Structure 1
Amino acid sequence: MVVGPRGTIVTSRNGQADICPGSLADWIAMSMKLFTCPTETRSLDRRQWFVGVATASALCVGPFGVSHSVQAAAVYAGLNSDRYLGKVKVETAIEDRKVFLEGPAVDRAGIVYFTNVPMSKILRWDPQNRKLAVFRDDSHETNGLYFDRTGRLLCCEGGMGRVTRTTMTTGKVEVLVESYQGRKFAKPNDLCVDAQGRVYFTSRSAVEDLPGENPKGVYRIDTDGQVQPVLQWPQVHMPNGIVLAPDGKTLYLIEAHPDAEHHRDVRAYDVKPDGALVNERIHINFYPGRSGDGMCIDAEGNLYIAAGLHKLRGTSETLDTRPGIHVVSPGGELVAFRETPEDTITNCAFGGPDLRTLYITCGSKLVSLRTDVPGKPSYRPGG
């Protein structure tokens, strides 16, 4: 028997490995004396491989895994990535005192907006004229961006703990929310908008919540301006990227906690008519590697997830999740992957005249690649 992370127990019967649920207490108790590894593993489909194949392989040598397990490499090698993704092209590189790029969003004209979080800049890239400009240079460490159906730019201003909305024609910035029940938000991170105009956003600070802040979670801003918590600690551990399915009936959430025995996966929820989230399930699990950061979705419901690392960064995350765009089907299967050139890959968004250009922030670069399936734009009904 081998005990896997995130409450998963891999049992061996006649040399065959099975994945079965187990409690965190089970893992802690049993990981103190790791069992021998099964000589064979059963074939797992790509809906299971991060939690199953990579975990079982990694735990043959230690509780938190090794880098690039043989099974993980085999799964990546077996993908038909060219069916979905073209080659990576560098759009522009940022030279600044500090660089951590995030939050790409594309407007109706095809202009790409993205953020340099530590410098509090929102940048503007014109891919047709190949021109880069600063759109806003005091954005309070804005992270995620999102265009609503009317073309206004929503911003997660982490430095101020608030969500704002900018009217692009006038430049007017309006604060949508900055507190709940008298307590400020930690660091709003990413967001999306449903067909009714309700805004879902993630908020998280460091590994531990700070005194006086609302806990890590997913919050919803209703059309009347009222804010409601929809998911909070301990149900979610480190919420990050968030997106709605094309029909608006499913919400996907990235969990990206760097510490061992915490969530590193994409979770799916059914969206009720009143905006509540129910029927939680794991869509794909990246543990023990680095989980996704941000993501977007195409017209057929495939997720494009920015995940993985080139180099270890001093956490319990391994290199089993390769650095790049992971395409995951509506059924939760990894179907394609394209590596990106730098750490840290953070987020992506569709653009271009045909919505088949995927813009990606990674390291100091904004890169792009062509996709076979067009994206679902945020600025149309249902976005």
Structure 2
Amino acid sequence: MRRRQFLQTAAAVSAGCLCHASLPTGQAAGVADQYAGLKTADYLGELTTLAKVVDRKVFTEGPCCDRAGNVYFTSTEVNKILKWDGKELTTFRENSGGANGLLFDQQGRLVACEGVAGRVTRTDLSTGGIEVLVDQFNGHPLGAPNDLCFDAKGRIYFTSRLPNLDPAKGNVNSVYRIDVDGKVAQVVHAPDIHMPNGIVISPDDKTLYLIEAHPQADFNRCILSFPLQADGTLGKGTRLIDFYPGRSGDGMAIDEQGNLYVAAGLHAPRKTSETLDTRPGIHVISPSGKLLAFVQTPEDTITNCRFGGADLKTLYITCGSLLLSLPTKIAGKASYRPEK
């Protein structure tokens, strides 16, 4: 979803959702008082800028890595998927449908949330063929698919947002699951969630984490934790950590020990109710909701991150016009490295 579309959707959704205080809270609001005394060096190394995107408009998102180590990410404002091979930045795909979140499956196919086209696609890199996995649910448009993850069975979970507030009139903000046979299910939706964004599943396949990133006042800016059942359904969600009143997380990744690496915060206000209480950068958060480490990123807006590299100990980050890398002491979840 493009920046302007996101804010228009946020304004529409703010008319009818539950306020952020209505969900179960296991943590004091905000992370502003948690930055002191962090042992960041135990988790993260030094930040490096790999590439700067230059175009008529730039807003980067969705980094992910193939098995060879190439980094793919999106430039949403100009409908491109870009590729960084370690030396050169090139355009992998034009007319990307407003692709946002990307991720490789275990077969080495690139799955994309196309926010403008309103669909989730899968690209076979060997042939260039693009398969549409889903573009509607219950006869209504999806809205804007945003980010995605996989479980151990190969099922795809993705977030999607749109202005509609009435389930009787069509789809609302939701998390969906695409089964391996292609069937699609809605696993959680508004008003139980407000503005779904980044999404990951724990290494043991028992927990689904969801970022809520509503920019308007009194709505969720937090990470929710849901028990994930064997059949792909979700149990009751609880709040793991709260970013309110600062900017919430956007995208996130997860390491092999279940810690979350969350892209969150702002350098400067952006005409929303979001404050600067959440610092701009990568936040490492434990499975119990404790802030463990933080590294600040250099420009707005930090959006997403994924593990890559031969040992899965490099975090690739999209941040404004930049592609960044950050060494980690703990390897990412093993499935971030495709089998093919």
Deviations 1:224-274 (A, max 9, x none): 211111111100100000000011111100000001111100011111111
361 and 380 in structure 1: CA distance in 2 versus 1, 3 angstrom threshold = closer
Measured in 2, the distance between the counterparts of 1:304 and 1:380 equals 17
**Does the alignment pair 1:256 with 2:213?**
yes
> Size of the alignment, in residue pairs?
321
Match of 2:146 in 1: 189
Instruction: Report the counterpart of residue 48 of structure 1 in structure 2.
Output: 27
Given that residues 206 and 229 in structure 2 are in contact (C-alpha distance below 8 angstroms), is that contact kept between their aligned partners in structure 1?
A: yes
Which has more radius of gyration? 1
The 8 Å contact of residues 66 and 337 in structure 2, kept in 1 or not, is answered as: no
**Corresponding position of 1:76:** 35
Is 1:239 aligned with 2:190? Answer: no
Structure 2 letter corresponding to 1:274: D
1:163 aligns with 2:120: yes
Structure 1, residues 134-156: CA drift from partner, whole Å, max 9, x if none? 11011110000011111111000
User: Are the equivalent residues in 2 in contact too, given 1:102–1:115 (CA < 8 A)?
Assistant: yes
- Classify 1:109/1:212 alpha carbon distance in 2 versus 1 (closer, same or farther; 3 Å): farther
Offset at residue 181 of structure 1 (A): 1.1
Of 264, 270, 276, the residue aligned with 1:307 is 264
Aligned counterparts of 2:41 and 2:246: Cα–Cα separation in 1 = 24
Q: Distance in 2 between matches of 1:85 and 1:203?
A: 31
Q: Normalised by the size of structure 1, how large is the TM-score?
A: 0.80
Whether the aligned pair in 2 keeps the contact of 1:150 and 1:379 (CA below 8 Å) is no
Q: Give the match's secondary structure for 1:151.
A: coil
- Counterpart amino acid of 1:343? D
The separation in 1 between residues aligned to 2:132 and 2:327, in whole angstroms, is 35
Q: Identity rate of aligned residues, in percent?
A: 57
Equivalences for residues 1-383 of structure 1 within 5 A: 6-7=20-21, 48-49=27-28, 51=29, 72=32, 75-127=34-86, 130-205=87-162, 213-379=170-336
Runs of 4+ in 1 over 4 A off after TM superposition: 206-213, 379-382
SS in structure 1 of the partner of residue 35 of structure 2: helix
Q: Does the aligned pair in 1 maintain the 2:24–2:239 contact within 8 Å?
A: no
Structure 1 residue ranges without an equivalent (≥5): 9-19, 23-46, 55-71
Cα 1:154–1:21 change in 2 (3 A) is closer
Task: Assess, with a 3 A threshold, how the Cα gap between structure 1 residues 283 and 376 changes in structure 2: closer, same or farther.
Answer: same
Cα root mean square deviation, aligned? 2.2
SS in 1 for 2:236: strand
One-letter code aligned to 1:124: K
Query: CA separation in 2, counterparts of 1:250 and 1:231?
Result: 14
CA offsets per residue over residues 269-308 of structure 1, 9 Å max, x none? 1111110010311111111100000000001110000000
Using structure 2 for the length normalisation, give the TM-score: 0.90
Can you list the C-alpha shifts for 1:21-60, whole angstroms capped at 9, x where unaligned?
79xxxxxxxxxxxxxxxxxxxxxxxx734x16x6xxxxxx
Query: Does the aligned pair in 2 maintain the 1:151–1:379 contact within 8 Å?
Result: no
* Secondary structure of residue in 1 paired with 2:84: strand
Distance 1:85 1:378, change over 3 A: same
Distance change >3 Å, CA 266–CA 21, structure 1 → 2:
closer
Which has the larger displacement, 231-240 or 219-228? 219-228
Unaligned runs of 5+ in 2: 1-18
- Quick one: higher RCO (CA 8 Å, sep 6+), 1 or 2? 2
* Secondary structure of 1:82 counterpart: helix
Q: 1:21 to 1:161 in 2, by over 3 A?
A: closer
- Asked if the contact 1:104–1:112 (Cα under 8 Å) also holds between the matched residues in 2, the reply is yes
- Are 1:161 and 1:188, in contact at CA under 8 Å, matched by a contact in 2? yes
Q: 2:223 and 2:328 mapped to 1: Cα distance?
A: 21
